Amino acid sequence: MSNKISILMTYLKYKRMHFKNRDELERYQKKQITKQLDFVTSCSGFYGSYKGKPLEELPLMDKKQMMDNFDELNTVGTNREEAMKLAIDSERSRDFSEKLNHITVGLSSGTSDTRGIFLVSDKEKDMWAGYILSKVLYGSILDKYEVAFFMRANSNLYESVSSSNIHFVFYDIYQSVEDNIRRLIEQKPDIIVGQPSILLDLCRYAKDLHPKKVISIAEVLEDSDREIICRAFNVDVIHQVYQCTEGCLATTCDQGTIHLNEDIVFFEKEYLDEKRFIPVITDFTRTSQPIIRYRLNDILVERKDRCPCGSCFTALERIEGREDDVFVFDGKENEEIKVFPDFIRRLVMFSGEVGDYRIVQAEDGSLEVYWDQSSDIRDKFLTELEKMASDRGFIMPAVDFYEYSFDRSRKLKRVESRRKR
């Protein structure tokens, strides 16, 4: 059972927390890290031998490592087999209410051999709910809100937020669009939460919906899509909540800038160039399954100038995509030439007014472009690609064009690489 008081306490704590400057924030983080390391080195068998060591001496972690060491790592005495069985049963029956001794077990997305299991205690869940609310509610926590939440799988993680004044309705994206729309119009949501592909679908019905806030989750929000959604819903900012099973990592401020949630997560940055980095995260609040120096698979782009909102939390230009979606071309000297997703996006934009598109690098390195475009725009695209190939020194790949299509049951990725590496 969720504890409303503890949700409210967390909400108030983070709503009131302000840092005058970066130094103050860093002092706070240092204290939190010390506290968290004291806890994990005492309670997690995996970290036992690191007692008293500074954070940088603890091992880097990733999904595979975490799953391989699942039993020793978690602090609630759960074993992997038992947790996996419960998670799979819940997915199959679509009943997500069952728990292991007050611990919710979930599966993170990924292909079958890379799926991770995550554990969240009731206490952590309340914290998470209070924290998210402190970041996304535009008024007081005591005001009334109708929230429409579009998602793949329901989870009792989200239900913990529902209360008498905050009313959540969940929409299963596998249900028919017409059905969902009818219910949505009846609900009159103040806040709509969904992935960009869903929000784009809803644009057609925007005149019947007047949400005060639109929140994008789970997929990369492309600039061009953001503009379409803003225009349709007549809002200035599309709020983004960048969150994964490993934590709630970033949220958008009133100015529309995404800031890292440095009040609950410490970020180490593995730089790829002067502003792109892979985040390595340490969460101050996760205790059941500690997240310590966990390397994510995402590429974030840092914004160098300060955000006008005045926050000292690191500002992002954007969330660029998965590290796996970097395109890899064959160089003229037989080397690998990597091209970040954002440059591929720009390539498409430079070809003209494109609208919906997907561009996939196939396993063999060739490109598949899905769009409904004229031969002029195709030619322009090929010219731009040739120019990029000669500038960067890679061999021009084969390119095939197809009609635009998108499988609704998957995440919409406009730029995707399937190249084996």
Shortest CB 259 distance to Zn ion, Å: 6
Closest to Zn ion by CB, 304 or 420:
304
| Helix, strand, or coil (residue 187) | helix
- Kindly state the tokens that stand for 401: 């064009």
What is the C-alpha to C-alpha distance for residues 346 and 338, in angstroms, rounded to an integer?
15
DSSP per-residue letters across 188-225: --SEEEE-HHHHHHHGGGGGG---SEEEEESS---HHH
**Selection from 404, 229, 419 nearest residue 339 by Cα:** 419
For Zn ion, the closer CB: 232 or 258: 258
The answer to whether 18 and 44 have CB atoms below 8 angstroms apart is no
Of 265 and 367, the one with the shorter C-beta distance to Zn ion is 265
Q: How far is the CB of 218 from Zn ion (least distance, A)?
A: 22
Residue 128 or 313: the one with the smaller Cβ distance to Zn ion is: 313
DSSP for residue 116: -
CB of 254 to Zn ion, least distance (A): 7
* Residue whose CB is less far from Zn ion, 311 or 351: 311
User: Largest Cα–Cα distance of the chain, in whole Å?
Assistant: 65
- Residues in touch with Zn ion (CB under 5 A): 253, 255, 257, 307, 309, 311
> From the CB of 310, what's the least distance to Zn ion, in Å?
7
Alpha carbon separation from 171 to 129, 148, 185, 193, 247 (Å, rounded)? 19, 7, 12, 10, 23
**Residue among 309 and 396 whose Cβ is closer to Zn ion:** 309
C-beta of 63 vs 259, nearer to Zn ion: 259
Give the nearest distance from C-beta 403 to Zn ion in angstroms.
40
How far is it, in rounded angstroms, from Cα 360 to Cα 366? 8
In the bound state with Zn ion, the residue whose beta carbon lies nearer, of 77 and 308, is 308
Q: Which is nearer to Zn ion, 250 or 292 (CB)?
A: 250
Query: Is 418 within 8 Å of 324 (Cβ atoms)?
Result: no
User: Shortest approach of Zn ion to residue 225 CB, angstroms?
Assistant: 21
- Residue pair 259/311 in contact by the 8 Å Cβ criterion: yes
Contact 348, 358 (CB under 8 A): no
Work out how close the CB of 308 gets to Zn ion at its nearest, in angstroms, rounded to a whole number.
Answer: 7
CB of 226 to Zn ion, least distance (A): 16
Contacts 24+ apart (CB under 8 A), 396-400: 397/329, 397/330, 397/361, 397/365, 397/366, 397/367, 398/366, 398/367, 399/366, 399/367, 399/368, 399/369, 400/366, 400/367, 400/368, 400/369
The 10 Å Cβ neighbour count of residue 375 is: 8
At 19, list the tokens: 């840092």
Nearest-approach distance from CB 17 to Zn ion, in angstroms: 15
